[in-house]
Amino acid sequence: MSMNDRAARFDALDQSSIDVLIVGAGINGASTFRELTLNGVSVLLVDSGDYCAGASAAPSRLIHGGLKYLENGEFRLVAESTHERNRLLLNAPHLVKPLPCTVPFDSWFGGLFSSAFRFLRLPHGQFRKRGTVIVKLGLMIYDWLGRKQRAMPVHTVRGRTQTHDLFPLLDPSVIASATYYDALITQPERLCLELVIDAERDSHSTGVALNYARVIGREGEQVVIRDEIDPGAEFQCESVAGGTSRDRSRQERRRHDRPHPGQGKREIRVTPRLVINAAGPWIDKVNRLFGIDQRYIGGSKGSHLILDHPELHAGLNGHMLYFETGDNRLCLAYPIGDRVLVGTTDIRIDDPDDARCEPEEVDYLFDVLAKLLPGVSIEPAHIVYRYSGVRPLPYAGDVGIGSVSRDHSIEVEEPNDERPFAIASLIGGKWTTFRAFGEVAADLALDRLRRTRTRHTHDLAIGGGRGFPRDGDLSSITAQLSATHELSPDIIANLLQRHGCNLAVVEAVSAKGGATPLSSAPAFLTGEIRYLCRHEAVARLEDLVFRRTTLALEGRAGDAVVNEIGAIAAAILGWDSDRRDREVANCKARLALDSG
Ligand SMILES: Cc1cc2nc3c(=O)[nH]c(=O)nc-3n(C[C@H](O)[C@H](O)[C@H](O)COP(=O)(O)OP(=O)(O)OC[C@H]3O[C@@H](n4cnc5c(N)ncnc54)[C@H](O)[C@@H]3O)c2cc1C
């Protein structure tokens, strides 16, 4: 059954029994799915929306050890994160790349005492900005913790002259800087999907994944799942096209929260032996569907901006600037393609459906950039895309949000008279540590199912990372594929950057008409978009524009692009003109909310 065969999948699953139901196909659900399918467990993975469309689509895109967590004494987390970072550089080199990160300083000794007090969990009063010495100490520990499978250089410290030579846009008050290496994930949405695709393929049918399949409740031993895109029911694809922009924004926010908006849609029932609640910021809401009233999540909203700003792009010199703000937070700016990513805010939020990038957050990010780079003029007109998401942090009462642990944990609700299965909630975690978290969750499930682990994922390449040169040198593979498929080296290089060594995409592009560039976005090819529609569980047009490609992120998804891709998707997915028009309208409405 192909990933696109939704109807057949729903039919085959109805009234079935499975070992594990995973609710939520963000990175942690997808990772747990891969661990369990690899070990022969029958698993159903469902998400109420698309794969990787929740918190996992909203990160700063860093695969990092978490330098700042050292100050909170979280050595275990930093050690795990740096190891996982190093592994991802090896297992997913097509999407995870080294990133030089530079911290600018305006003092040598600032923050020594407050950082030490914070580390010792003593009252630290007013924070002072961290100076060169305290960060240098932290970086020595950071390098040491990340020594296993090290793939990148250790840190360096520069004085004033060298710093300003390298970053001429920096404020003159900067007296030194330190550069260390972490990693950047270019397309998190694709990596998450690749995990799901790998897992399904390798499971030989014991693992099934469904996007747009919402868990809506429990009936006895069965869990009820609703198909959010049932062509048999009245088509109710998020009708965000009408109304004022504020109405549309509200509707969009409520997409995870409407009780029963899809009357008449197909529902199926499955009987699991164990439920894994991997709903990230929605964990408490999903638990309530099972009658569990626990507060596990204390969400924190973070927003990012993508800027089209060539001067700023050039001034970053290929580095991430990781800088402390006046309110003692850490913000970042780095080049991503020919754009600049700027982030992030950290605002307590109760309802993840309310997460939007608000104008005050834009002002905040502009303000902190202006203090760091005073000569650069940054205007709202430079914003081509903005996104926001909620960190699924553990609920910690009144503790300052910056001090809440970014570590992961699992809470289990044991079965009771009404509910014969246990529910394990996956709380917290970072993108970087998804493999380790999925491994722990899978071990818990294997233990409860009385199964033994037979396979591990430490060294398992992901998706297009299989066969991708680890040193990133694509010249010989490009020449070889270009010759065998009669495609230009530029086309091959682009496909390798986006899809790694997934040669099926290259074949699709080399088929008749496949190499024709989209007239509205020539970097993308007709055969490539067709391939994504056929093989990557595209159910809505926005899946293609926001997650299967980087068109939305890069601010390149204008009306013409949406119309052209909408026509290709309609032809491949069999949408009639009514459905196509609604998909196009919804996609444009969503872009209007998130662009500029
Ligand atoms: C602003 C921000 C910046 C971050 N930066 C970084 C970073 O740079 N590096 C890093 O390592 N980490 C970062 N993180 C953390 C990381 O992104 C998250 O911890 C991680 O993505 C959480 O993944 P998840 O799978 O637990 O949750 P999600 O990705 O939110 O997945 C949960 C899924 O559950 C689904 N769901 C909800 N209700 C239901 C239901 N009823 N039925 C079915 N499905 C349902 C949702 O649709 C959603 O897709 C950042 C997070 C944020 C928000």
DSSP state of 242: S
Query: Can you tell me which residue has the tokens 């998909």?
Result: 583
Q: Hey, what are 471's tokens?
A: 């040193």
Q: Exposure pattern of 52-63 as b/e (b: 16+ CB <10 Å)?
A: bbbbbbbbbbbb
Report the distance separating Cα 532 and Cα 15, nearest Å.
31
Q: Which fold has domain 467-500+502-594?
A: Helicase, Ruva Protein; domain 3 (1.10.8)
Q: Which atom of ligand 1 is nearest to the CA of 391?
A: 53
Q: Hey, what are 563's tokens?
A: 């119309």
Residue 557 phi/psi, 5° resolution? Answer: -100, 70
Give whole-number Cα distances, 68 to 149, 276, 324, 372, in Å: 22, 30, 11, 19
Q: Which atom of ligand 1 is nearest to the CA of 286?
A: 41
Same fold, 6-56+189-230+266-296+406-448 and 300-391: no
Report the distance separating Cα 126 and Cα 109, nearest Å.
16
Q: Which fold has domain 300-391?
A: D-Amino Acid Oxidase; Chain A, domain 2 (3.30.9)
How many CA atoms are closer than 13 Å to the CA of 352, on its beta-carbon side? 24
Ligand 1 center to 28 CA (angstroms): 8
pTM as predicted: 0.93
Q: Is any ligand 1 atom within 6 A of the Cβ of residue 531?
A: no
Q: Exposure pattern of 407-423 as b/e (b: 16+ CB <10 Å)?
A: bbebbebeeeeebebbb
Report the distance separating Cα 587 and Cα 180, nearest Å.
39
Q: Which atom of ligand 1 is nearest to the CA of 56?
A: 21
Q: Is any ligand 1 atom within 6 A of the Cβ of residue 580?
A: no
pLDDT by 10s per residue, the chain, length 596: 677 788 899 999 999 999 999 999 999 999 999 999 999 999 999 999 999 999 999 999 999 998 888 877 888 999 999 999 999 999 999 999 999 999 999 887 666 566 665 665 656 555 567 778 888 888 998 889 888 888 899 999 999 999 999 999 999 999 999 999 999 999 999 999 999 999 999 998 899 999 999 999 999 999 999 999 966 554 444 443 334 444 444 444 444 444 444 567 899 999 999 999 999 999 999 999 999 999 999 989 999 999 999 999 999 999 999 999 988 889 999 999 999 999 999 999 989 998 999 999 999 999 999 999 999 999 999 999 999 999 999 998 877 777 788 889 999 999 999 999 999 999 999 999 999 999 999 999 999 999 999 999 999 999 999 999 988 899 999 999 999 999 999 999 999 999 999 999 999 999 999 999 999 999 999 999 999 999 999 999 999 999 999 999 999 999 999 999 999 999 999 999 999 999 999 999 999 988 86
What is the residue extent of each domain of the chain?
6-56+189-230+266-296+406-448, 93-182, 300-391, 467-500+502-594
CATH architecture entry for 6-56+189-230+266-296+406-448:
3-Layer(bba) Sandwich (3.50)
Q: Hey, what are 20's tokens?
A: 């594990």
Q: Letter for the amino acid at 520?
A: S
Name which residue sits closest to atom 18 of ligand 1, judged by CA. Answer: 430
Q: Is any ligand 1 atom within 6 A of the Cβ of residue 390?
A: yes
